[in-house]
Amino acid sequence: MPAVENTIVICAGGACISAGEISVKESLENTLREYALDEVVRVVETGCMGACDLGPIMVIYPEGVFYQKLDSNNVKKVVEEHLLKGRIVKELLYTGPTGEVKEKPQEELPFFKKQVKIATRNLGVVDPLSIEEYIARDGYFALTKVIKEMNPEDVISELKKSGLRGRGGAGFPTGLKWEFARKATGDIKYVICNADEGDPGAFMDRAILEGDPHSVVEAMTIAAYTVGASKGFIYVRAEYPLAIERFSHALKKAREYGFLGENILGSEFSFDIEIRIGAGAFVCGEETALINSIEGKRGIPRVKPPYPAQKGLWGKPTLINNVETYANIPPIILHGGDWFAQFGVEGSRGTKVFALAGKVNNTGLVEVPMGISLRELIYEIGGGVPGGKKLKAVQTGGPSGGCIPEKHIDTPITYDTLKELGTIIGSGGMIVMDEDDCMVDVAKFFLEFTVEESCGQCTPCRDGTKRMLEILERITEGEGTEEDLETLKELSEHIMKTSLCGLGQTAPQPVMSTMRYFWDEYEAHVKEKRCPAKKCKALTRIVIDKEKCVGCTACARVCPVNAITGSVRNPHEIDPEICTRCGSCLEVCRFGAISKVSP
Amino acid sequence: MGKIKSLEELMKIKESTLKELKMRDTDKRGKIIVAMGTCGIAAGAKETLKAIVDILGEKGIDDIAVVQSGCFGLCDVEPTIEVRIGESEPIIYGHVTPSQAKRIVEQHILEGKVVSDLVVKRGEL
């Protein structure tokens, strides 16, 4: 046993790395060496802990003290104060929205306490580069159980009992999908992992691959054994280099230990996985486009049916699941389908990982039981809307989803309830919006994305969404007509009915759902040439209240286009012709004299 | 590492790695605090710390945390360590060489008996 007494776990998820985790780790290791602590303090990099807005994060064990927002300078202080003198560095602890300081937020804060971690069970716990640590957390026990004790039908029956549905977006029952692939006839079958996560705002697949790659390797191997496949592919987008690196390492280790390759665990069963790197096209997340891409063809969708389970990769039966779906498999095998089904509600069993983003205090990844209400998710786990602003809506399911208005905040989150509200769980992106967000502008944002990412194969998606975007642009410019609103509705319906693949069929969703709940905002833009949220630049003006302005000149000094004029101690003025509505003056005025108005 | 073929082999890896992972657990029965100020390190606290960790590992004791701290202010009796078990009063030992550390673990941690000849202070500092 090594002489290790303190273990420092640093979050090496993508968000923390962007926030400077690498320099923090270097500085930490240098300081440890300086104080001759490098042999007794172990530094472990782990996967995304979820609290991405607090990064870089580290937890010092055995005490479990959680430090946030580190940089290469203050980490030195942690070593000198905490490790050497046993004093906790208060200013680096987690501070809640109301100012309370927490030493061990992982146990105490609702952000962590309300979560149930199944798919993300090892994130923040294990070193993703250590297969031994994965094993210590029951890793590869499910595979061993499957190979030694279960036949494929048993696996499928546990999956059916669990009620697991695909976590990639469409929500198809996983047990059924595996059964179709098992029953399909073919000399060769394939297993694919879809890691082409492209939804704006969602990043749970990347986090799982970076933080717990072995769980996906294990699950894919179980899947191959179950459906009778001998070869697997994981399709990862090129934008995820760290995920690719850690997954490659996991593959290598799994082969060394005999969990992949010939005669797995001494049995007759052989299977191996190859990595395919996608070029970052959103459409390649669509399963048939992904299959085309692996075959070396252009990544455009195929007509379904036939479904991949019958005719997939190179025309052979193919099982394709998403990363998060796979990450749920080993715990289901180990603890049974009934165990998994105890979480969640009828029709939506287990947990779901959500990526909380937008106007919410705690942004990041959270895994919660299905059926939790949006209120719990946003207020208790997410810590509410910052700045005392009012919650307006939550956008779920990315570009294929829609908005849920504030009045439905107590709705439990399930596949069915969200469908009734005109949106979907989708991949689990959740963007919180407050009173300053314009819903027409939000719809425009998602349409821009779809237009950019449409593969162009079918006309409704390629041209239809383009026309819709042009109309939305007109409306936000204040040039929309009532006829435009009718055309938007018509186009939406046609595109949904006639597009070739799921992408086009759902592309108008953000427009449909914002029109459903925020019709008055569309009307205000068109009829009154007014943006109620004061967001659309063409429909807003910035004005100075002469009564409140003391003539401090702060606004005139920051204005990048010199639109503000006035002399010291006299009220200033803004020239609306020159003003670009950038809002810099709003931020610097200390007298509340500047405001936005519409029109 | 050779290829794994059985559940037993897998279990062995799990158990040995769990020991390491357990070090990160927060719910411990007690802790040993090793004073690691400049004076302590100069008097050999690093060797003492290693000896404590090693002997705990050898005996399979995983519910005692070993924590480092700064100088207790007892520089003339370094290396010093403080043993805290549950609610009972903390004991500070002085001149704790690696072999004395072994005695402390065997008697105090395992049998619950204070090693009286090494005690420099009882109770809170």
pLDDT of residue B27: 63
pLDDT of residue A507: 96
A104 in reach of chain B (CB within 8 A): yes
pLDDT of residue A1: 32
Residues 253 to 312 of A: which have CB under 8 A from any B CB?
256-259, 265-266
**A151 lies in the same domain as A274:** yes
Hey, what are A115's tokens?
Answer: 């979560």
pLDDT digit string (tens) for A186-235? 999 999 999 999 888 898 999 999 889 999 999 999 999 999 999 999 99
Helix (H), strand (E) at residue A512? helix A509-517
**CATH number, domain at A486?**
1.20.1440.230
Q: What percent of chain A has pLDDT over 70?
A: 97
What ipTM does the predicted assembly reach?
0.76
A305 has a pLDDT exceeding 80: yes
Closest CB from B4, B18, B25 relative to A257: B4
State the Cα angle at A167 between A166 and A173, rounded to 5°: 20
CA distances (Å), origin B84, targets A535, B49, B79: 60, 16, 17
B contacts of A132 (beta carbons < 8 Å):
13, 16-17
3-state percent helix, strand, coil for chain B, nearest multiple of 5? 45, 20, 35
- What lies within 8 Å, CB to CB, of A121 at 6+ separation is A137, A212, A215, A331
Hey, what are A138's tokens?
Answer: 């029951």
Hey, what are A201's tokens?
Answer: 């705002």
Contact call for residues A541 and A598 (beta carbons, < 8 A): yes
Rg (chain A; Cα; Å): 26
Band (pLDDT 50/70/90 cuts) for residue A428 is very high
Note whether B17 contacts A86, CB cutoff 8 Å. Answer: no
Return the residue of A nearest to B59 by Cα: A1
A568 in reach of chain B (CB within 8 A): no
Min Cα separation B25/chain A (Å) = 6
The owner of tokens 């779901």 is: A352
A491 has a pLDDT exceeding 90: yes
More confident of the two residues B57 and A485: A485
pLDDT digit string (tens) for A230-273? 999 999 999 998 899 999 999 999 999 999 999 999 999 999 99
Hey, what are A58's tokens?
Answer: 């580290």
pLDDT of residue A96: 64
Between A78-82, A449-453, A581-585, the lowest mean confidence (pLDDT) is in A78-82
Q: Mean per-residue pLDDT for A62-86?
A: 86
A559 has a pLDDT exceeding 80: yes
Phi, psi of A7 (to 5 degrees): -115, 130
The owner of tokens 């995304």 is: A48
pLDDT of residue A325: 97
B66 in reach of chain A (CB within 8 A): yes
B116 in reach of chain A (CB within 8 A): no
**A523 lies in the same domain as A489:** yes
**A351 lies in the same domain as A407:** yes
A6 in reach of chain B (CB within 8 A): yes
**CATH number, domain at B110?**
3.40.30.10
A contacts of B4 (beta carbons < 8 Å):
140, 257-259, 265
B101 in reach of chain A (CB within 8 A): no
Note whether A36 contacts B46, CB cutoff 8 Å. Answer: yes
Min Cα separation A132/chain B (Å) = 6
Note whether B67 contacts A135, CB cutoff 8 Å. Answer: no
Between A177-181, A324-328, A386-390, B25-29, the lowest mean confidence (pLDDT) is in B25-29
pLDDT of residue B24: 62
A136 in reach of chain B (CB within 8 A): yes
A486 in reach of chain B (CB within 8 A): no
**A318 lies in the same domain as A174:** yes
Of A48, A38, A51, A53, residue with least CA distance to A8? A38
Three-state DSSP at A268 gives coil
Quick check: is A121 in a domain? no
Picking from B26, B41, B50, B62 by the largest number of A CB atoms within 10 A of its own CB, the best residue to mutate is B26
Quick check: is A59 in a domain? yes
Q: What percent of chain A has pLDDT over 90?
A: 76
Q: Mean per-residue pLDDT for A391-415?
A: 95
Q: Mean per-residue pLDDT for A457-469?
A: 96
CA distances (Å), origin A430, targets A172, A196, A203, B44: 20, 18, 11, 55
pLDDT digit string (tens) for B12-33? 999 888 876 665 655 678 889 8
Residues 576 to 595 of A: which have CB under 8 A from any B CB?
none
Quick check: is A512 in a domain? yes
Quick check: is A312 in a domain? yes
Between A35-39, A199-203, B3-7, the lowest mean confidence (pLDDT) is in A35-39
User: Whole-structure pTM over 0.80, yes or no?
Assistant: yes
Closest CB from A1, A62, A136 relative to B25: A62
Q: How many CB pairs under 8 A join A and B?
A: 115
A3 has a pLDDT exceeding 60: no
**A316 lies in the same domain as A465:** no
A529 has a pLDDT exceeding 50: yes
Q: Mean per-residue pLDDT for A155-181?
A: 96
Closest CB from B3, B24, B54 relative to A61: B24
Hey, what are A267's tokens?
Answer: 């049995």
Q: Mean per-residue pLDDT for A541-569?
A: 93
Of A35, A39, A44, residue with least CA distance to A10? A44
Number of domains in chain A: 5
Q: 3-state secondary structure string, A126-183?
A: CCCCCHHHHHHCCCCHHHHHHHHHCCHHHHHHHHHHHCCECCCCCCCEHHHHHHHHHH
Residue B36 sits in which domain range? 26-122
A contacts of B15 (beta carbons < 8 Å):
136
Helix (H), strand (E) at residue A405? strand A402-405
B20 in reach of chain A (CB within 8 A): yes
pLDDT of residue A99: 59
**A26 lies in the same domain as A104:** yes
Quick check: is B111 in a domain? yes
pLDDT of residue A2: 39
**A382 lies in the same domain as A302:** no
**A459 lies in the same domain as A416:** no
Quick check: is B107 in a domain? yes
Quick check: is A397 in a domain? yes
Quick check: is A130 in a domain? no
Hey, what are B6's tokens?
Answer: 């059985």
For residue A185, with 0-12 CB atoms within 10 Å meaning exposed, 13-18 middle and 19 or more buried, which class applies?
Answer: exposed
Min Cα separation A182/chain B (Å) = 25
pLDDT of residue B121: 81
**A391 lies in the same domain as A270:** no
Three-state DSSP at B85 gives strand
**A287 lies in the same domain as A154:** yes
**A185 lies in the same domain as A334:** yes
Q: What is the mean pLDDT of chain B?
A: 85
Residue A82 sits in which domain range? 6-108
A516 in reach of chain B (CB within 8 A): no
Note whether B10 contacts A104, CB cutoff 8 Å. Answer: no
A392 has a pLDDT exceeding 70: yes
Q: Mean per-residue pLDDT for A46-71?
A: 86
| Beta bridge partners of residue B33, listed in sequence order | B67, B82
Helix (H), strand (E) at residue A193? strand A190-195
Q: Mean per-residue pLDDT for A374-392?
A: 92
CA distances (Å), origin A273, targets A175, A184, A254: 22, 21, 10
Quick check: is A420 in a domain? yes
Q: Mean per-residue pLDDT for A464-476?
A: 97
Band (pLDDT 50/70/90 cuts) for residue A111 is confident
B102 in reach of chain A (CB within 8 A): no
